[in-house]
Chains A and B, each alone.
Chain A
Amino acid sequence: MAYISLTAVHKTYPNGYCALKNINLDIQAGQFIAVLGPSGAGKSTLLRAMNALDPATQGEITIDGVTLNKKNYRKIRAHVGMVFQQFNLVDRLNVMTNVLVGRLAEHSWLSSLFYLFPKTDYQIAEAALREVDLLDKAWSRADKLSGGQQQRVGIARALAQQPKLILADEPIASLDPKSSEEVLKLLRKICSEKGITVIVNLHQVEYAKQFADRIIALNAGSLVFDGSPEQLTKAKQAEIYGTTYEETSHDAELVLAYT
Chain B
Amino acid sequence: MMLSWYWPTPNGKPPLIAVLSVLVPLAVLLLTASTVDMSYNKIFYAIPRMLDFTKNLWVMPDWHYVPQLAKKMLETVEMTLLATALAILLSMPLGVLAAKNASPHPIIFRITRDLLSFIRALPELVWALVFVSALGLGPLPGIMALSLVTVGFMGKFIAESIEVVDAKAIEGLESTGCTKFQSILYAMLPQAVPDFIGSLLYILDHNLRAASILGLVGAGGIGYDMVMSMRLFNYERIGMIALSIYALVTLLDRLSDVFRQKALGGILNVH
Contact = CB atoms under 8 A, between A and B. Distances in A.
A53 B177 contact: no
A89 B169 contact: yes
Interface in B174-202: 174-179, 181-182, 185-187, 190-191, 193-194
Contact of A101 (B166, B168, B186, B269): B186
A180 B117 CA distance: 50
A196 B185 CA distance: 30
Contacts of A84: 168, 171-172, 175
Given A78-B177, A154-B172, A109 B271 contact: no
A93 interface: yes
Interface SS majority for chain B: helix
Query: Which residue, B176, B191, B194, has most C-beta atoms of chain A within 10 A?
Result: B176
Interface in B155-172: 166, 168-169, 171-172
B187 A104 contact: no
B134 interface: no
Contact of A77 (B177, B181, B190, B193): B177
Judged by DSSP, the binding face of A is mixed
A86 interface: yes
Interface of A: 51, 53, 74-82, 84, 86-94, 97, 101-102, 104-105, 107, 109, 112-113, 115, 141, 143-144, 154, 157, 161
Interface of B: 166, 168-169, 171-179, 181-182, 185-187, 190-191, 193-194, 266, 269-271
Given A53-B174, A93-B270, A154-B172, 15 more contacts: A51-B175, A76-B177, A78-B176, A88-B175, A90-B173, A90-B187, A93-B190, A97-B186, A97-B271, A101-B172, A105-B176, A109-B179, A109-B182, A157-B172, A157-B176
